């Protein structure tokens, strides 16, 4: 997990975690892991965006994190949609068309 920031208009990147992930990769367990990593670094209220792939478990994780209210102004998005569809939508298991 990486963090990207600007300090005095200078971009910087940090490696927050390179943890192993055991167990089921559900959206809820991914969100819990991300929440723990952010808490470990005192960053829970400093998140302004999350970028991830469009896998259904990652979309669910973003939804769970948004419900956790990581930051008052957090704009949590995935890479393929600005407003993700509800994660209980069965069509999420279908392949998405390639955009190009």
Is 73 strand, coil or helix?
coil
User: Domain for residue 69, yes or no?
Assistant: yes
User: Domain for residue 52, yes or no?
Assistant: yes
Task: Please tell me the predicted confidence (pLDDT) of residue 16.
Answer: 93
**Eight-class DSSP state of 88:** T
User: Domain for residue 15, yes or no?
Assistant: no
Percent with pLDDT over 70 in the chain: 72
Domain of residue 71, residue span? 46-93
**pLDDT single digits (tens) 65-99:** 888 766 443 444 444 444 554 556 666 667 767 77
Q: Could you tell me if 64 and 28 are in contact, meaning their C-beta atoms sit under 8 angstroms apart? A: yes
User: Domain for residue 79, yes or no?
Assistant: yes
Task: Please tell me the predicted confidence (pLDDT) of residue 99.
Answer: 73
Instruction: Report the domain count for the chain.
Output: 1
What is the rounded average pLDDT of the residues 29-46?
90
Task: Please tell me the predicted confidence (pLDDT) of residue 57.
Answer: 92
**What is the distance between the alpha carbons of residues 57 and 39, in angstroms, rounded to a whole number?**
21
Tokens 């990581």 — which residue?
A: 70
How far does the chain reach from its first CA to its final CA, in angstroms? Answer: 27
Judged by phi (left if over 0) then psi (alpha if -120 to 50, else beta), residue 64 lies in: alpha
């Amino acid at each position: 997990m990486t963090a990207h920031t600007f300090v005095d208009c200078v971009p910087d990147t940090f490696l927050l975690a390179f943890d192993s992930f055991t167990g089921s990769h559900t959206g809820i367990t991914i969100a819990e892991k991300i929440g723990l990593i952010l808490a470990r670094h005192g960053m829970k209220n400093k998140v302004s965006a999350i970028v991830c792939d469009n896998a259904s478990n990652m979309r669910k994780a973003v939804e769970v994190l948004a419900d956790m209210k990581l930051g008052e102004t957090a704009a949590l998005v995935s890479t393929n949609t600005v407003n993700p569809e509800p994660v209980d939508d069965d069509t999420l298991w279908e392949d998405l068309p390639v955009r190009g």
